[in-house]
Amino acid sequence: MNFFRARRRQQLIFAACVIVPMLASYALFLVWPVGWAFSISLSDWNLFQNAGNFVGLRNYMRAFRDPIFRISLTNTFYYAILSVPLGLGLAILLGVLIQGAGRFRSLFRVLYFMPVLTSEIATGVLWRWLYQPEYGLFNSILSAINLPRLGWLYSPELAMPSVVAYATWKGIGFTVIIIMAGLDGIDETYYEAARVDGANLWNLFWHITLPLLRPTLTFVLVTGVIGSLQVFGPVYVMTQGPGGPLNRTRTMVLHQYQTAFLSFQWPYGTAIAFISFAIIMALTLAQLRLLRRRWEY
């Protein structure tokens, strides 16, 4: 019996040696910064004096009056509304097609996955070049087939869709892999049974594949919305400076970055961070609840 007690003590000591540093790290680099950020967002704190007074919700009110914040909020939602359904729809289509591609299955999977690996910055620079109005590839192709050239990133209307096209190219392979992993988990016998009953390809997709892919799709949708509301890298590189023509590609995180790290308005910047956090949380919870109800049979 003594042996087990001694071992138990050793186990607890080992656990403490691992868990205590972890807790310390989470407390110092996560919990405390979030708490501190919240108190900064309620003050007029500044870095140089390292002091500030409590000002209540003034920074939050300011966000709602700030026209540029409103534009960045609209832009962020616009980005999400364009990129999430496009990415999801395309990924389902590609996933199902590649799954059925027989001997070229792994080749296609690799080809569609390639952009995922590459850095946002490198490929952002690359796409800026493809979009270049005079010498870029896209306008050259348009000219070659006698279509009018477009302004792409320089056009207020096309700037955001152009960024979305880039982001879809960059990220689609990732979603495809996850969807294909989900497809692998669907039991082949469902399809066989349905085929015996005379179901066509569309029936199989609509009545078997989609419902059984539900957990995977929920995952892709929820993480996709979260990711798209936090988009920063592509807009930073592709539309440098204030955030594109007429601020059309200034997203929430870009606005926050500029406010805090370039204009040094820390309290206002943190208030924006918390507003975006609240929006993301609300949308995530709403989606999870909605999806659960919708799919219950």
Partner 1 sequence: MKRTKLLRWGLWIVLGLGSMAMVLPFYWMVLTSVKSKSEIVRIPPSFLPESLTLSNYVEAWERLQFPLLLRNSAFLATTMTALILLSSALVGYVFAKVDFPGREPIFILVLSSMMIPFNVVMIPLFLLIVRLDWADSYWGIIVPGIFSSFGIFLMRQVMGTIPEDLLDAARIDGASEFSIFWRVALPLSTSPIAALGILTFMGQWDSFLWPLIVLTRADLFTLPVGLALFNNRFYTEYGPLLAGATISVVPILILFFSAQRLFMESVALQGMKL
Closest distance of CB 56 from partner 1, Å? 19
* Site membership for partner 1, residue 282 (CB under 8 A): no
> What does the per-residue mask of binding to partner 1 show for 141-160, with x meaning CB under 8 A?
--xx----------------
43 CB-side CA count, 13 A: 15
Q: Are 88 and 224 in contact (CB under 8 A)?
A: yes
* Site membership for partner 1, residue 290 (CB under 8 A): no
Q: Are 238 and 164 in contact (CB under 8 A)?
A: no
Select from 261, 286, 289, 295 the one that contacts partner 1 (CB under 8 A): 261
Select from 48, 51, 135, 297 the one that contacts partner 1 (CB under 8 A): 135
* Site membership for partner 1, residue 246 (CB under 8 A): no
Closest distance of CB 87 from partner 1, Å? 14
CA distance 130 to 142: 12
CA distance 198 to 202: 12
Closest distance of CB 170 from partner 1, Å? 10
| Closer residue to partner 1, CB minimum distance, 160 or 238 | 238
Binding to partner 1 (CB under 8 A): which residues in 162-221? 169, 173-174, 177-178, 180-182, 215-216, 218-219
Residue among 174, 156, 150 at smallest CA distance from 243? 156
Closest distance of CB 135 from partner 1, Å? 5
Three-class SS state of 273: helix
* Site membership for partner 1, residue 94 (CB under 8 A): yes
26-34, 60-68, 71-79, 203-211 -> range binding partner 1 (CB under 8 A): 26-34
CA distance 284 to 46: 33
53-61, 65-73, 242-250, 273-281 -> range binding partner 1 (CB under 8 A): 273-281
Rg (CA), the chain: 25
CA-to-CA dists, residue 24 to 13, 20, 29, 30, 33, angstroms: 16, 6, 8, 10, 13
The b/e string for 14-23 (b: 16+ C-beta within 10 A; e otherwise) is eeeeeeeeee
* Site membership for partner 1, residue 269 (CB under 8 A): yes
56-64, 68-76, 114-122, 192-200 -> range binding partner 1 (CB under 8 A): 114-122
